[in-house]
Chains A and B, each alone.
Chain A
């Protein structure tokens, strides 16, 4: 199936540093969703982006959808230990296809 690649696969930051994960598709995306999975837990829906160039914010999290609707990013400002987990993007079509995920580790 058509893959959605995420980079980086893993990032380790000090608390207070910023973090960004990127989601790239070779084809145009209709919508994109973002999920967070805490260690040992299940994915939890964060947000959906629909429009070209869309930017949405949730407190310290900023989500962007590219102008060409082929990429998306999630930026976390001033990370906290509660941000630890794996962040997935997911492309929507007849079924939801998840990206490869970015695992974030935050240390004090």
Chain B
């Protein structure tokens, strides 16, 4: 079955530590995205990538970094510079770089930083 896999489902870290969230897709999609969702809030775009080896900042990129070395993978690093990292992180992909294609989401990673 094709889909998007995010791991782990729950992640706990101490303040000051960097942490990397995994996102893998086997849908052969060109575009991938990272969103952040806070309780009772909408989705805010962190970074997106329309093609391998290229990515753009979204609306809230500060304190985050990404890489896109392979089409299937788009890991997100939450750095110690991110002031409020505790949140629900959602990875998504779409078939085409233009956003007229629907997004397919992974199950998300709940990150708690104490």
Residue from A50, A88, A92, A95 within 8 A of B45 (CB atoms): A95
**Which residues of A from 86 to 108 have beta carbons under 8 Å from B?**
88, 90, 92-101, 103
* B105 partner residues in chain A, CB cutoff 8 A: 42-44
Residue A31 is within 8 A (CB to CB) of chain B in the complex: yes
Residue B63 is within 8 A (CB to CB) of chain A in the complex: no
Residue from A44, A93, A98 within 8 A of B43 (CB atoms): A98
B103–A45 touching, CB < 8 Å: yes
| Total residue contacts A-B, CB cutoff 8 A | 55
Residue B16 is within 8 A (CB to CB) of chain A in the complex: no
Given A42-B107, A45-B104, verify A94-B99 contact (CB < 8 Å): yes
Give the one of B33, B42, B45, B104 with max A CB within 10 A.
Answer: B42
Residue from A1, A50, A94, A99 within 8 A of B42 (CB atoms): A99
Complexed CA–CA distance, A41 and B94 (Å): 19
Residue B90 is within 8 A (CB to CB) of chain A in the complex: yes
A93–B99 touching, CB < 8 Å: yes
Given A42-B90, A43-B43, A48-B100, verify A95-B106 contact (CB < 8 Å): no
Other A-B pairs beyond A93-B99, A101-B42, 16, CB < 8 Å = A31-B99, A33-B103, A35-B103, A42-B90, A42-B106, A42-B108, A43-B90, A44-B105, A45-B103, A48-B100, A88-B42, A92-B98, A92-B99, A95-B99, A98-B43, A98-B44
- List the 4 shortest-distance A-B pairs measured between CB atoms, nearest first: A45-B102, A42-B105, A92-B99, A98-B43
B residues engaging A (CB < 8 A)? 33, 35, 40-45, 48, 56, 58-59, 90, 94, 98-100, 102-108
A residues engaging B (CB < 8 A)? 1, 30-31, 33, 35, 41-45, 48, 50, 88, 90, 92-101, 103
